[in-house]
Structure 1
């Protein structure tokens, strides 16, 4: 991750600042967190802290809801847009990683294997 991305991911903005920047109430922010759409970090005092990327996400949510989408639809859209970089922290077993890699390689046609089920 480059320095710009690191800075955009730094959770430093409290709820009051986020409310002013997005026009969302603290209750709306908590609701979106409960609905698993945003994941603010917590300070040592358990205060929610948001990043610049969180602001972008919240503004997207606000736009989707303004266009008439339901929360379930918004969640589906947000999950599809979720960057792969967020998945870097998820633990993947060596076997699972090999299966994913094999499947991707088969999809791009680099391996000439007729039966991908026999790989593992």
Structure 2
């Protein structure tokens, strides 16, 4: 069993999770109703939370404390999931003006290979000053 599998094991009762997160039972049930967490259930229908569930609840609390509303919290989780699914997209960095000028010069002089995609494509607006 690897670490990720262990993080998903349902171990904690709602009372323990309340102590760990500082949230009330009503808040925890509310977040479950909004499908932000999906705790496992025992045969007696009691919720059992994993380490991963506790971490998500702590993130929810942090974001709410920072002023996000529920829609913002859901967006944050969607963005996290998108980044996890497409790690290359989240690693793209913005180029500085100097780097953009160098790329432009290479492309205009034809020194860049034809098979590579332009890194500044669609970013020419930064060359025009608003007057």
TM-score, length basis structure 1: 0.66
In the alignment, what sits opposite 1:76? 75
Q: 1:75 deviation in Å?
A: 0.7
Q: How does 1:1-120 map to 2 (within 5 A)?
A: 3-82=2-81, 84=85
Q: State the Cα RMSD in Å.
A: 1.5
* Equivalent position SS for 2:43: coil
Unpaired runs of at least 5, structure 2 = 86-114, 116-131
CA distance in 2, matches of 1:16, 1:31: 15
Q: 1:78 deviation in Å?
A: 1.0
CA distance in 2, matches of 1:60, 1:78: 9
After TM superposition, where is structure 1 displaced by more than 3 Å over at least 4 residues in a row? none
Query: Which structure would you say has the larger Rg?
Result: 2
TM-score, length basis structure 2: 0.61
**More helix as a share of residues:** 1
Report the count of equivalent residues.
84
